[in-house]
Amino acid sequence: MPSDHPPIQPLRFVQRGAIVNVERVAPERTLLALLREDLGQPAVKEGCNSGDCGACTVVLAQAEGDGLRWRAINSCLRLAHSVDGSALWTAADLTQDPLLDLGGAQLHPAQQAMLEQHGSQCGFCTPGFVMSLFAQYQNRVMAGETVTREATQADLSGNLCRCTGYRTILDAAQSMARLPPARVDQAALLALLGQIAPAPTTLAALLQARARWPEARLVAGATDLGLSITKGLQPQARLLDLTRVEELGRIERQPGWLGIGAAVTLEDAFAALVQQWPTLAEFAQRFAGLPVRQSGTLGGNIANGSPIGDSMPLLIALRARLQLLRWDPDRQTAAERHLALEDFYTGYRRNRLGADELIERIEIPCPEQPADSGWTRAYKVSKRHEDDISTVCLALSLQLDNGQVLAAAIGVGGIAATPVRATRTEAVLTGQPWSVATVQQAMKTIESEFEPLSDLRASASYRRQLLGQLLWRSWLESQGSALPYATGLQALEPISPRTETELRP
């Protein structure tokens, strides 16, 4: 008799040079809970239990092509089953893994550097920092790359030190390469991973499972679902894992468009977007800390539908559309439909996804004209610059020709129950010169186009003004000003009644 529940498979991963096999792991069990409580590995610390502090950081290695892909992730949010078929390291493993040759040293360079540079103060965050440094060591030092302070700040963006000891930790990162090298036996590790590679899940099989268990929660990186488990204590009896479906993990570049699979991580998705639109690099790094970006997926962020999810305003401005799939039992094949992203949402965390559907990929048109004929920017305003939720997010993409706006698309987040498109403001810009007068009119329009909410992050009035000021900032940047309040204000004051203080974004 067929089961009413998706089957629970044994969990298998590589740790300390051996295959770990864990039976009957509950679907909602987090990796942190598995390590600390089930396997007795207290080197992984529980801090915030919400993906903010990085104390629980571990490193995963997964086979990719002929090599390995190394990622630092938050174990507090990651579901244990998602690491099936991966290799896992905690801070305690760096001196106990037979596949890791320390060259006679007592400690891994990430640990030794922290010791020599006095990078550990109270010590609670230290295991998480060490693991992020270990990932940096594998990804940068072992590749022969010079580790800069800027790169380290990006690599450690998901780790917080409450003692504010960042300078010494940055010093440690830059000193790792000067220590005797530590090398992972990648051939042996790949051989072990080959023995436990999870059975591939086809897209057809996933769609059939989706039709059979429409109430099951679709899960990939679980960076939001993890909070429902750790903070909301919500049971999750039925989960369908998307991460093993090859089709959902693809990034495709075709003439005129870019396709990003729903299970592509946020880090890889933004890398693809930045390759097409380099001006989005800073916004991509501010989206979240690196461990969150390396677990969370673009499709998950979209399906989650939070009004403060930062990917949606950007994708709306880029005129993205979704390809949705369901299983057609009559034809025994997948049936697809397309939907513009701004039309996907029907209310707060509600969307048009059918009970038997899933997002296969996000399709983004790529401009065929030269890059200098367009203007694409995205802005995130939050109380903290790093690792914080947006107060307001605004993204705009303009097609320009000799100073004339041929087309405009503007996405906005943080002001309503759903991400929205500023269609009235787009109409004011389209067909007009990209000039002070046009932008001033667009500012007035966008400030009146929405009825923003008031909450603990900001008042409705502040959000209205902020929308206008972000447009003004974009205009000034387009004229060559890196800082909106640093250029040309006296000349513009007769045109704009706003003061210099008000012009600061």
CATH of the domain at 177: 3.10.20.30
**Domain-located, residue 203:** no
The pLDDT of 125-150, averaged and rounded, is 96
Residues 177, 253 within the same domain: no
**For residue 227, what pLDDT is reported?**
67
Counting the structural domains of the chain, the total is 2
pLDDT of residue 486: 38
pLDDT at 1 over 60: no
Residues 302 and 392 in one domain: yes
Q: How far apart are CA 408 and CA 430, in angstroms?
A: 6
Mean pLDDT to the nearest integer, 385-403: 88
Q: Are residues 67 and 171 in the same domain?
A: yes
Residue 89 domain-assigned (yes or no) = yes
Q: What is the pLDDT of residue 200?
A: 65
Q: Which residues of 113-124 are buried (b: 16+ CB within 10 A; e: fewer)?
A: bbeebebbeeee
- φ, ψ for residue 295 (rounded to 5)? -105, -50
Looking at residue 26, its pLDDT comes to 84
pLDDT at 3 over 80: no
**In a shared domain, residues 194 and 279:** no
Query: Do 145 and 250 sit in the same domain of this protein?
Result: no
CA nearest to 158, candidates 267, 35, 15, 16? 267
pLDDT at position 199: 63
67, part of any domain: yes
Q: Are residues 17 and 110 in the same domain?
A: yes
Strand partners for 66: none
Query: Which range, of 25-29, 249-253, 368-372, 411-415, averages the lowest pLDDT?
Result: 368-372
Determine, yes or no, domain membership for 2: no
On whether residue 240 sits in a domain, the answer given is no
The DSSP bridge partners found for residue 405 are 400
* Residue that terminates a domain, selected from 198, 215, 231: 198
Residue 251 has pLDDT above 70, yes or no: yes
Neighbours of 147 (CB within 10 A): 20
- Report if residue 401 sits inside a domain: yes
SS (H, E, C) 214-280: CCCEEECCCCCHHHHHHCCCCCCCCEEECCCEHHHHCEEEECCEEEEECCCEHHHHHHHHHHHCHHH
Are 296 and 416 part of one and the same domain? Answer: yes
Q: Are residues 266 and 124 in the same domain?
A: no
What is the extent of the structural domain holding 173? 7-198
Q: Same structural domain for residues 305 and 380?
A: yes
If asked whether residues 194 and 250 sit together in one domain, one would say no
Q: What is the mean pLDDT of the chain?
A: 88
Q: Which H helix or E strand runs over 337?
A: strand 333-340
* CA 116, chain centre distance (Å): 33
Split at pLDDT 50, 70, 90, the class of 149 is very high
Whether 221 maps to a domain, the answer reads: no
Is 51 in the same domain as 160?
Answer: yes
Residues contacting 7, CB < 8 A, separation 6+: none
92-96, 285-289, 325-329, 433-437: least confidently modelled range: 285-289
